[in-house]
Amino acid sequence: MVLYHGSKEIIEKPRVIISRNNKDFYYGFYCTLFEQQAVRWAKRFGGSGFLNMYEYSPNDFLKIKQFPDMSEEWLDFIVSCRLDNPHDYDIVEGPMANDTIFNYVQNFIDGKISRDAFWALAKFKYPTHQISFHTDVALKTLKFIEAKEV
């Protein structure tokens, strides 16, 4: 399976980067099945970027959490991660809280909207996908194929 990662640089050797911004599934290396989504990531700060492509070979011995769609469990997991609570999964996969959805998540965290209001707003957004790699052993499931400037 081919996964995509959009970035300002070519990333032949992915790594988990601890940043000051909490991500949907906590700190990790994020990819997607959707090429256009990765292109948006690559170009999100203006100008050009790189579409990095990887061959993903699943490893059944890793601890993997999958969210097939936005659910109560998905929302609670994202809220926990964005509140800086770590988890013990090697890989987490599911929908992405894009900029709009993130705003709804933040409003929910801040108590500005109810859980019901979150779902009413979130259900009309287009599908997204992310798969995040949180450990060095998880990163070994990725093999760099190539990068294209976008």
Q: pLDDT tens, 113-145?
A: 999 998 888 776 666 899 999 999 999 999 999
Chain-centre distance of CA 79, in angstroms? 14
**Cα 140 to Cα 105: distance, rounded to the nearest angstrom:** 31
59-69: average pLDDT: 96
31 versus 127: the higher-pLDDT residue is: 31
What digits encode the pLDDT tens for the residues 78-115?
989 988 999 999 999 999 876 677 788 889 989 999 99
pLDDT of residue 121: 81
3-state secondary structure of 93: strand
**Cα 71 to Cα 74: distance, rounded to the nearest angstrom:** 5
pLDDT of residue 132: 97
**Cα 142 to Cα 150: distance, rounded to the nearest angstrom:** 21
Is the model's pLDDT at 21 over the cut of 90? no
**Cα 128 to Cα 93: distance, rounded to the nearest angstrom:** 11
| pTM for this predicted structure | 0.86
- Beta-bridged to residue 2, according to DSSP, are 55
pLDDT of residue 20: 64
pLDDT band for 146, please (50, 70, 90 cuts): very high
Which phi and psi (to 5°) does residue 64 adopt?
-120, 135
Is the model's pLDDT at 42 over the cut of 90? yes
pLDDT of residue 135: 97
**Cα 124 to Cα 126: distance, rounded to the nearest angstrom:** 7
Closest CA to 66 of 45, 95, 43: 95
Closest CA to 51 of 37, 66, 71: 37
57-71: average pLDDT: 95
